[in-house]
Amino acid sequence: MSFEFVATRFEPSEGYQASEQDVADVRKLRANYPELEPWSDLSLVVAFGEYSAHVMAVHWADWLCGHRDEGFLAYLYVRMICPDFEFDFTGLHMDDIDVYAAGKPWTQQAEAPAWATT
């Protein structure tokens, strides 16, 4: 059984409006993430914006929009299975996410990484 990525953790607040460029970038992302097909554009904007800030330590990682980055899915997976874990906005977990993503934990419903449970 495969893991289902659920957008509810990334629903935008009422009245939230994304820029036209962010929505255009997210539409590029869609082609590379069939796992996120049911998500709304705004939920993807929120999730990718948070990934950009928490892991990449930038406002918007637009250079990632044209290809698949397993780190993005690993980030979403950790956020879903460890809802209380705080990434902060430092980028300190970039290497952790990359290492964790290499095993595609969402495909096997793997346990949370140790760094996210301490």
Question: What would the mean pLDDT of 49-66 be, rounded to a whole number?
Answer: 92
Domain count, the chain: 1
> Residue 34: inside a domain, yes or no?
yes
Q: In 28-41, which positions are buried (b, 16+ CB within 10 angstroms) versus exposed (e)?
A: ebeebbebbeebeb
pLDDT in tens, 79-106: 999 998 988 776 778 889 999 999 999 9
- Split at pLDDT 50, 70, 90, the class of 107 is very high
> Residue 109: inside a domain, yes or no?
yes
Give residue 79's pLDDT: 94
> Residue 2: inside a domain, yes or no?
no
Distance of CA 74 to the CA centre of its chain: 7
First CA to last CA distance, the chain: 27
Give residue 38's pLDDT: 93
Report the distance separating Cα 13 and Cα 1, nearest Å: 31
Quote the domain boundaries for residue 12.
7-116
pLDDT in tens, 2-25: 789 999 889 888 888 888 998 899
Q: What is the DSSP code string of 30-46?
A: HTT-GGGTTS-HHHHHH
Give residue 91's pLDDT: 72
Report the distance separating Cα 70 and Cα 67, nearest Å: 10
pLDDT in tens, 19-56: 899 889 988 998 999 999 999 999 999 999 999 999 99
Residue % of the chain over a pLDDT of 70: 97
Give residue 1's pLDDT: 52
The predicted model scores a pTM of 0.91
> Residue 1: inside a domain, yes or no?
no
Contact between residue 60 and residue 69 where contact means Cβ atoms under 8 Å apart: no
Nearest to 33 by CA among 55, 53, 49, 48: 48
